[in-house]
Structure 1
Amino acid sequence: MSNELENRLKGLVPAARRSVLTEDVYERIKSLIMNGDLEPGARVNIYAVARLLDVSQTPVREVLSALESEGLLTKEPLRGYSVAPQLRPDQIADLYQLRLLLEPWAAARAAERVTAEARERVRAELASVPQAPQGTRYEEYHGLAEHDARFHDLIAELSGSEALRESLRRTHGHLHLFRIGYAGRRTGDPTLAEHARVVEAIAAGEAEAASEAMRAHLAAARDRFLEISP
């Protein structure tokens, strides 16, 4: 992180309290990446970040490691951390091809196995975001991003396949897609409407309808992201 960039970011990030938790540091750094204030390829220096947030280096090291595991940062020997590049159109298409193979099956299986508790859980998850965010900054849409991750993970869990659930967790595509999707526009309304159709089918125990609703959702999401991808 250059001195020029560090000075520019000081106006965007309020100084953290000295008693700040690692979670606070995590959200502050993550917001810089998701909002594009730290652009793809930008170096992220541990010492500069610690100065910027007015915290010790220890929580910064932990957070940068966590963000690397999420795919938002990359780490090179002797160079340290830098912001990961955005997904290319071919990478988006490849990611969704995998998801289209796995998640419609998971939705159908969840419908076949549905219980009263499962109905309550999927409906509660859908209700956790009653409306789409109106802004395009991470601070405004992160609730939707977290809901989206929880929603797809929950359906994978309800399918009963831990292998499938773990496969989806390892794709590292989720946050990159939201970096693209909220770059100056909003895609939350269609996302929530599509989620509602998946929930309705699963709650009704209709496996074929659940599979088709998930397939339609993923195909629509893929097309939205491909349309606006850099």
Structure 2
Amino acid sequence: MRPARRLTLTDDVYEAVRALIMDHAVAPGDRVNIDALARQLQVSPTPVREALARLEADGLVRKRPLAGYTAAPLLTRDEFDELVEMRLVLETAAARRAAARIAARHEAGGEASRGEQTDTDLAELRREADLPGPAPETEGYAALAAFTRQDARFHNRLAELAGNRMLHEAVVRLRSHLHLFRLHFPTAHHDTSGREHHRIVDAVAAGDPERADEAMRAHLLAARDRHLPHFTEEG
């Protein structure tokens, strides 16, 4: 573990501790030793505590009175199924609403600024749809950190385009990508996921709520199937 850079100390410590948890270097359910982490990262305990507070909001650690922090347990199969069910409810609704808003803008017509904003939104969404492959000469979470961040940005941005603040916040609060990729790294599917993303963007850009719903549902169910082997391996 390299020492954290001083210019971006808080973010560096957060990323470093998150990587340890995602890679199970701090095993699920284990106590997090703040002083030991501070020594390992060559920082004071303060930024470690700040990082743990952020990770608690992410659902990756839990804080208990008088006991400190522990790494959150992995999702059980029932919890995994519940997470997928929640995503199907929230994210298909977001895709439908985003497509409907694009359709409404198209029907309004005649407003250059509105059309330009639509084009900008869709171009940004399409950029986020492409997912990077594993980083060379890395393994575990480090190999897929860029993938998980961009995957989250795509889904969060699409929810934002739905135009419902509470729906967007609910999608973001699920932190589904952190929990799923802590569970299992399906490293061979970044191209497949990217193609599924682009089918969603195509449907949204066409202003077709039904097709956007179907494309998002197909993507989430395919992503579910890519993670199911973990539960088979775990017995």
Distance 2:191 2:159 in 1: 23
SS of equivalent residue, structure 1 residue 174: helix
Which secondary structure state, in structure 1, belongs to the residue aligned with residue 133 of structure 2?
coil
**How many correspondences in the alignment?**
215
Q: Is 1:208 the counterpart of 2:210 in the alignment?
A: yes
Structure 1, 27-36 or 187-196: larger mean CA deviation: 187-196
Distance 1:208 1:37, change over 3 A: same
Amino acid in structure 2 at the alignment position of 1:191: S
Q: Secondary structure at the match of 1:82?
A: strand
Equivalent residue, structure 1, for 2:65: 77
Indicate conservation of the 8 Å contact 1:46/1:57, yes or no.
yes
Q: Which moved more, 1:185-194 or 1:162-171?
A: 185-194
2:128 to 122, 125, 129: 125
Q: 2:222 aligns with which of 206, 220, 223?
A: 220
Number of the residue aligned with 1:149: 152
Shift in Å at residue 26 of structure 1? 0.9
Instruction: Tell me, yes or no, if the aligned pair for 2:26 and 2:71 is still in contact at 8 Å.
Output: yes
**Counterpart Cα distance in 2 of 1:162 and 1:156:** 9
Q: Any conservation in 1 of the 2:62–2:72 contact (CA below 8 Å)?
A: yes
Indicate the residue corresponding to 2:2 in structure 1.
14
Matches within 5 A, 1:1-230: 13-17=1-5, 21-114=9-102, 115-127=118-130, 129=131, 131-133=132-134, 136-182=139-185, 185-229=187-231, 230=234
- 1:90 partner letter: D
Q: What is the rounded CA distance, in whole Å, between the counterparts of 2:213 and 2:159 in structure 1?
A: 12
Of 211-220 and 163-172, deviating more is 163-172
Judged with a 3 Å threshold, the aligned counterparts in structure 2 of structure 1 residues 18 and 146 are, in CA distance, closer, same or farther, namely closer
Structure 1 residue 200, shift from structure 2 partner:
1.5
Q: Is the 8 A contact 1:107 1:210 kept in 2?
A: yes
Q: Provide the rounded CA distance (Å) in 2 between the counterparts of 1:79 and 1:122.
A: 43
Deviations 1:136-186, CA, capped at 9 Å, x for gaps: 421121111011111111111111111111112222432010112317x54
Normalised to the residue count of structure 2, the TM-score between the two structures is: 0.85
Bigger helix share: 2
> Residues 133 and 190 of structure 2 are in contact (CA less than 8 Å); yes or no, is this contact kept in structure 1?
yes
The TM-score normalised by the length of structure 1 is 0.86
Unaligned runs of 5+ in 1: 1-12
CA separation of 1:39 and 1:103: change in aligned 2, threshold 3 A? same
Q: Distance in 1 between matches of 2:6 and 2:196?
A: 43
- SS of the residue aligned with 1:170? helix
Amino acid paired to 2:18? K
Are residues 136 and 214 of structure 1, via their aligned partners in 2, closer, same or farther at CA, if it must alter by over 3 Å?
farther
Distance 1:207 1:19, change over 3 A: closer
Contact 1:181–1:187 under 8 Å retained in 2: no
Q: Distance in 2 between matches of 1:125 and 1:144?
A: 10
Change (3 A) 1:144 1:41: same
**Separation in structure 2 between the aligned mates of residue 86 and residue 44 of structure 1, nearest angstrom:** 16
Distance 1:187 1:83, change over 3 A: farther
1 CA distance for matches of 2:99 and 2:80?
A: 27
Q: For residue 115 of structure 2, what is the aligned residue in structure 1? A: none
Helix, strand or coil: the match of 2:63? strand
State the SS of the aligned residue for 1:44: coil
Instruction: Specify the alignment match of 1:6 in structure 2.
Output: none
Aligned to 1:3: none
Answer whether contact 1:132 1:192 (CA < 8 A) is retained: no
